[in-house]
Amino acid sequence: MTAELSAEGVRVEFTTRSGRVARALDGADLVVRGGEVLALVGESGSGKTTLARTLVGLTTPAAGEVRWKGETLGRSARSLKALRRDVQLVLQDPLGALNPRHTVYDSVAEGLRIHKLVTKTGPSETERVAAALSAAGLRPPEALFLRYPHELSGGQRQRVLIAGALALQPSLLIADEPVSSLDASIRGEILALILKLREELGLGVLVVTHDLGLAWNIADRIAVMYLGRIVEAGPTEEVLTAPQHPYTQALLSVVPEMDRLEPIVLHGEIPDPTRIPAGCRFHPRCPALASGEADAVAHLCRGTALPILPSDPEGHRSACHLVAQRVSTPLDHRGAPLDHRGAPLDHRGEGTP
Amino acid sequence: MSSESVTPAATLSASQLARRRRTAAWRRGWTQFRSHRSGMVGLGILTFFVVAALAAPLLAARSGLDVTTANGPVLGPPSSEYWLGTDENGRSVLTLLIWGARVSLFVGLLATLISMVIGTVMGLVSGYFGGWVGAITFRITEWFLVIPFLPLAIVLSTVLGRGLFNIVLVIGVTSWPGTALLIRSQTLSIKERPYVERAQAIGAGRRHQITKHVLPNVMPMVFANTTLTVAIAILTETTLSFLGLGDPTRVSWGTMLDDAFQVGSITTGSWWYILPPGICVVLVVLSFTLIGRALEEVLNPRLRARQ
Amino acid sequence: MSAATGSGLPEARGAARLLDIRDLHVTYATGEGGLPAVRGVDLTVERGQIVGVAGESGCGKSTLASTILRLQPPSATVTGQVLFDGSDILTMRWGALRAVRWAGASIVFQGALHSLNPVHRIGRQIAEPIETHLPSLSESRRTARVGELLEQVGLDPDRARSYPHQLSGGQKQRVMIAMALACDPHLVVADEPTTALDVMVQAQVLGVLSDLVRDREVGMLMISHDLSVLADLCDKITVMYAGRVVESGPAKQVFAGPLHPYAGALSAAFPRVGDPAARFAPAGLPGDPPDPRNLTQGCSFAPRCARAAEECLPAEPPLETYDDGRQAACVRIDRTHRSSSGVETPSVETHRSSSGVETPSVEPVENPGETP
């Protein structure tokens, strides 16, 4: 069985102080495979970090399930521990993510000790720590054994974090904003490291980021999130050169120095997750709807909610009524096709007269 | 494995590495502490009193405490024979002072230990665990905090009876809530730190998270707080003894103050009986406070980072 | 406009630039000796012009920003001149300086999200500088002004009654901009104004800033480590490294065809989406940004430079000016006007479209930002 971490229909909710229910994640299907870099892109409030945390079991979903190698993830401490041996999370903010009182050696060896991976016959703990630090690009590793996090530079800290994850020899790595807190000139090295890990170790990597340029740089596939749902997913080249969903188009157009696209600056901000708009959740801000381009499906955009975008490891899909109309036919809330007037098509695919 | 001091790190085992790291950390901390003048003064004063207390048999004969064999003048002023004068029984005040140091320091330190252990455990539990476990421990802490100290101390002494260990118990049981509250708030903030979450993501269970991450980062605050608690404990012992709740068979600075007061040293002007124990208490409390302050600065990793 | 100052700020002379920084040196005093944060910087900003300063941590850009309003601690050594409308800020009398602060020039600080006082309503915080500089203004006029400012940055005037925690990151940043505009300054210094923001909010905030410059003839100095953001918004970019200027020139040219290897690395660090050359080719520099306390002999960039050679070592390369006005401080660049990759960079004409976004009228260069 290939290393595959998947989420199906995962929903994460929390109750705000005023008693309303906020949906941080409102139904997502995602598959992360070995040997592939998948970028999960979105703005703050999109749910991307929540999805990443749910995949590692740090957040318990209110609905849906997470599967690792085909088996559903239980909530017991034991099954979570087993998952965490194979799927490692690398947090953003390397300075905060390392215990200031632990040396680099201790931080990297921690995982080995928790999972009791050092056997009497295999490599010693010291050797494994050195190997992990080398794999993360810190050479000679011994020089850093006794250093503390505050004595290291930002780039070195991030590598130590990655080394801590590599020490467990995981199959998948989930990196949350791996370079956003680093200086611009050293980002390239960390990104090159991630690519190298994919090449040499066959790791699958899920990169959570708000930076489309980063996705273009290192991702094979990309999934764009908005307000708790994945709205578009597919191969990076396709999605970022020919985006289907109006949100993706807008997002791409405002990336600085995106000269080939006229900038579409959306009005307002991402809505409150306690008040998700009816119908398509993007419709109040959708430029296609506002400009009249989506007039044919406007009633669907406003009234019919879209189904969860199924995870398609090879294709390019979008959760959008307009796109569905262009591609084939519009969909109702169950994903069944409708004709251009919004009436259901009969089983032969013809509309009612 | 070679034990030379210049062994490269790669050939050392994990435990040797850990030991090396610890010695380096101690040395660094000591160098930093040394640079604090006030801390060094405090340490000097404390060392002086501790040495005096431990060396009591060498400095003053134990027989000097015996009321029946005392043959000095009653409430005599300082003289060449009795450097600090005598008490109402004719005993040398200096002898009383030196032997009294033992009790005061012993009670202070032991009571603090009890208070610190209870306070840290309660603080950690109420801070780290949510739900009813945390809530109950927190309520218990608050309850103990709210009870007025002196009446509780008096009641406990009466119930337990007078005696050295009982005083220790009384002080320990009444002074832990302050520590617990402090530890609790520190735990609450550390619990949210990214490195604790990282430990969780690596697969650490609760026990590992508490012992390896939360506790080490809470300990500096515990140490700094401890030194202050010792000061309070010594003062409390003094107070309790002064109120007559102390151990009648032993001399402490507090009992000296109580006796001095009882025989009317103020009205008779016998300053040598009242002032020395009072000054000693103040000095010891001061020394702990100075050390505590210096320790806090030394152990704060954020300040350390600026080196 | 200058009525807002009311205390001796000289009228804008036709010839004097809005901001003219000449040979600025700022050295902080630390326990272990001096820390040279800025080591000889020249910079100018005209009215209606947006100048970008690009650089990473330790390059001195934030020090530069705060020195403009003379916000350095007294223990810092500052030499050189900071001419604001012809008068040197560094030697001004206290009264004149107070008048300049906020009414002549204002700053939008880095980390705006933490710069707002959490216990005061934002209306009151915006009104604060107005109160200080125009004490005679009545309460109702002040409130009206606050409402105006909020509208200018795209917020509802009713938001004046909100507390900071009720606002999102983008909204807080816009409040900071409104605050910076409160006294109608001639110059606005924006220190990393969009760094923590999402790309859509960033676009909104940048739109606000460029409308500002266009409508009010304000001059702006924008500081960022993101060269692509600067290339989009600014007329001119100055790249700083280790306290010095290493390259300067028209924004699009610097981004598309940088001369200095560091500027090239910075440009390559933000790959253009859609550029096939950037797929699976992350570009970065080895080593770390320089520590101002441990600068090497000779070119401070040499330890990380792919093109470093013998000639880079003896002395810090001076800032050379080339025929077309571009400047770069590197001895490894050909003296004739060529970019360091050996490809001649065409001049790029720019027009401002109605949304305030510059669109080049020439094809962009084939290999942007490639470091040899």
pLDDT in tens, B158-206: 888 777 788 888 888 888 898 899 899 999 988 888 889 888 888 888 8
What pLDDT score does C262 carry?
A: 92
Phi, psi of A5 (to 5 degrees): -110, 125
Contact between A88 and B202 using a beta-carbon 8 Å cutoff: yes
Residue from B2, B21, B27, B195 to probe the interface with A (highest A Cβ count within 10 Å): B195
SS (H, E, C) chain C: CHHHCCCCCCCCCCCCCCEEEEEEEEEEEECCEEEEEEEEEEEEECCCCEEEEECCCCCCHHHHHHHHCCCCCCCCEEEEEEEECCEEHHHCCHHHHHHHHHHCEEEECCCHHHCCCCCCCHHHHHHHHHHHHCCCCCHHHHHHHHHHHHHHCCCCHHHHHCCHHHCCHHHHHHHHHHHHHCCCCCEEEEECCCCCCCHHHHHHHHHHHHHHHHHHCCEEEEEECCHHHHHHHCCEEEEEECCEEEEEEEHHHHHHCCCCHHHHHHHHCCCCCCCHHHCCCCCCCCCCCCCCCCCCCCCCCHHHCCCCCHHHCCCCCCCEECCCCCEECCCCCCCCCCCCCCCCCCCCCEEECCCCCEEECCCCCCCCCCCC
Host domain of residue B197: 37-305
B21 and A CB contact within 8 Å: yes
From the CA of B182, how many Å to the nearest CA of chain A? 20
Q: Decide if pLDDT at C313 tops 50.
A: yes
Contact between A126 and B14 using a beta-carbon 8 Å cutoff: yes
Whether the ω angle into residue A140 lies within 30 degrees of 0, i.e. cis, is yes
Residue showing tokens 């801390």:
B39
Which of A241, A259, A269 is opposite residue C170, by nearest beta carbon?
Answer: A269
Count of CB atoms situated within 10 Å of the CB of A36: 18
What pLDDT score does C6 carry?
A: 39
Domain count along chain B? 1
In terms of phi and psi (left: phi > 0; alpha: psi -120 to 50; beta: otherwise), the region of C159 is: alpha
> Is the Cβ–Cβ distance between B89 and B83 less than 8 Å?
no
The CA distances from residue A341 to A288, A302, A324, A329, C308, in Å, are: 18, 14, 14, 11, 67
Report helix, strand or coil for A39: strand
Neighbours of chain A (3+ CB pairs under 8 A): B, C
Angle, CA of B281, B287 and B289, to the nearest 5°:
100
Residue from B192, B198, B212, B302 to probe the interface with A (highest A Cβ count within 10 Å): B198
Cβ-based contacts of A98 with chain B (< 8 Å): 195, 198
What pLDDT score does B285 carry?
A: 85
In terms of phi and psi (left: phi > 0; alpha: psi -120 to 50; beta: otherwise), the region of A216 is: alpha
Structure-model confidence comparison of residues C328 and B243, the more confident one: C328
B301 and A CB contact within 8 Å: yes
What pLDDT score does C348 carry?
A: 35
Mean residue pLDDT of chain B comes to 82
Contact between B195 and A111 using a beta-carbon 8 Å cutoff: no
A286 and C CB contact within 8 Å: no
Cα C28 to Cα B305: distance, rounded to the nearest angstrom: 19
Per-residue pLDDT tens digits for A188-215: 889 999 999 999 988 999 999 988 999 9
The CA distances from residue B213 to A173, B216, B273, C84, C271, in Å, are: 23, 6, 51, 53, 39
Cα A198 to Cα A32: distance, rounded to the nearest angstrom: 13
What pLDDT score does A331 carry?
A: 57
Contact between B9 and A142 using a beta-carbon 8 Å cutoff: yes
> Is the Cβ–Cβ distance between A86 and A1 less than 8 Å?
no
- Chain A segment 244-273 residues within 8 A of B by beta carbon are none
Contact between A186 and C229 using a beta-carbon 8 Å cutoff: no
> Is the Cβ–Cβ distance between A327 and A245 less than 8 Å?
no
Q: Decide if pLDDT at C332 tops 90.
A: no
B243 occurs within a structural domain: yes
- CATH number, position B131: 1.10.3720.10
Q: Decide if pLDDT at B5 tops 50.
A: no
Contact between A168 and B202 using a beta-carbon 8 Å cutoff: yes
Whole-angstrom Cα Rg for chain A = 22
Residue type, C329: A
Cα C47 to Cα C52: distance, rounded to the nearest angstrom: 14
A18 and C CB contact within 8 Å: no
Mean residue pLDDT of chain A comes to 85
* b/e burial code for range A235-246 (CB count within 10 A of at least 16 → b): ebbebbeebbbb
C251: closest chain A residue by CA: A257
From the CA of B230, how many Å to the nearest CA of chain A? 26
- How many Cβ pairs closer than 8 A exist between chain A and C? 132
Per-residue pLDDT tens digits for C134-158: 888 888 999 999 998 888 887 888 8
For residue B122, give the nearest of B201, B222, B217 by alpha carbon.
Answer: B222
For residue A92, give the nearest of A24, A215, A182, A184 by alpha carbon.
Answer: A182
Per-residue pLDDT tens digits for C249-279: 999 889 888 999 999 988 888 888 888 888 8
Contact between A188 and C285 using a beta-carbon 8 Å cutoff: yes
B9 occurs within a structural domain: no
Residue type, A225: M
Question: ipTM value of the model?
Answer: 0.78
Contact between C273 and A211 using a beta-carbon 8 Å cutoff: no
For residue C121, give the nearest of C153, C146, C151, C154 by alpha carbon.
Answer: C146
The pLDDT-based confidence of C235 (bands split at 50, 70, 90) is very high
Cα B84 to Cα C275: distance, rounded to the nearest angstrom: 91
The domain segmentation of chain C, as residue ranges, is 15-225
Count of CB atoms situated within 10 Å of the CB of B134: 17
Residue from A217, A240, A245 to probe the interface with C (highest C Cβ count within 10 Å): A217
> Is the Cβ–Cβ distance between B177 and B144 less than 8 Å?
yes
* b/e burial code for range B152-173 (CB count within 10 A of at least 16 → b): ebeebbeeeebebebbbbbbbb
Structure-model confidence comparison of residues B239 and A243, the more confident one: A243
B17 occurs within a structural domain: no
Cβ-based contacts of C269 with chain A (< 8 Å): 184-185, 187-188
A144: closest chain B residue by CA: B9
Residue showing tokens 């009654």:
C161
B17 and A CB contact within 8 Å: yes
Cβ-based contacts of A154 with chain C (< 8 Å): 288
Cβ-based contacts of B9 with chain A (< 8 Å): 142-143, 145-146
Which of A111, A145, A161 is opposite residue B203, by nearest beta carbon?
Answer: A111
Which of C56, C168, C203 is opposite residue A185, by nearest beta carbon?
Answer: C56
Cβ-based contacts of C203 with chain A (< 8 Å): 254, 263, 265
What pLDDT score does B300 carry?
A: 64
Residue range C170-189: average pLDDT? Answer: 87
- Chain A segment 132-191 residues within 8 A of C by beta carbon are 153-156, 183-191
* b/e burial code for range A194-232 (CB count within 10 A of at least 16 → b): bbebbeeeebbbbbbbbbbbbbbbbbbbbbbbbbbbbbb
Angle, CA of C94, C97 and C98, to the nearest 5°:
90
Q: Decide if pLDDT at A346 tops 80.
A: no
What residues contact residue C41 under an 8 Å CB cut-off, 6+ apart?
A: C21, C23, C24, C60, C64, C80, C240, C243, C244, C245
Residue range C234-239: average pLDDT? Answer: 94
Which of C199, C269, C279 is opposite residue A254, by nearest beta carbon?
Answer: C199
Which of A88, A91, A168 is opposite residue B194, by nearest beta carbon?
Answer: A91
B226 occurs within a structural domain: yes
Mean residue pLDDT of chain C comes to 80
* Beta pairing partners, C35: C28
The pLDDT-based confidence of C25 (bands split at 50, 70, 90) is very high
The CA distances from residue A109 to A57, A114, B194, C312, C361, in Å, are: 22, 9, 18, 42, 56
Which of C200, C269, C273 is opposite residue A188, by nearest beta carbon?
Answer: C269
B22 occurs within a structural domain: no
Contact between C357 and A186 using a beta-carbon 8 Å cutoff: no
The pLDDT-based confidence of A340 (bands split at 50, 70, 90) is low
**E strand or H helix at A229, and its extent?**
strand A229-235
Cβ-based contacts of B24 with chain A (< 8 Å): 146
B1 occurs within a structural domain: no
B263 occurs within a structural domain: yes
Contact between C282 and A258 using a beta-carbon 8 Å cutoff: no
The pLDDT-based confidence of C8 (bands split at 50, 70, 90) is very low
From the CA of A118, how many Å to the nearest CA of chain C? 33
- What sign does the CA torsion over A36, A37, A42, A47 have? positive
Cα A84 to Cα A64: distance, rounded to the nearest angstrom: 20
B28 and A CB contact within 8 Å: no
Which of B12, B202, B301 is opposite residue A114, by nearest beta carbon?
Answer: B202
Neighbours of chain B (3+ CB pairs under 8 A): A
What pLDDT score does C365 carry?
A: 37
B6 and A CB contact within 8 Å: no
Q: How far is CA A198 from the centre of its chain?
A: 17
Report helix, strand or coil for B52: helix
Superfamily of domain C15-225: P-loop containing nucleotide triphosphate hydrolases (3.40.50.300)
How large a percentage of chain A has pLDDT more than 70?
A: 92
> Is the Cβ–Cβ distance between C100 and C37 less than 8 Å?
no
What pLDDT score does A231 carry?
A: 93
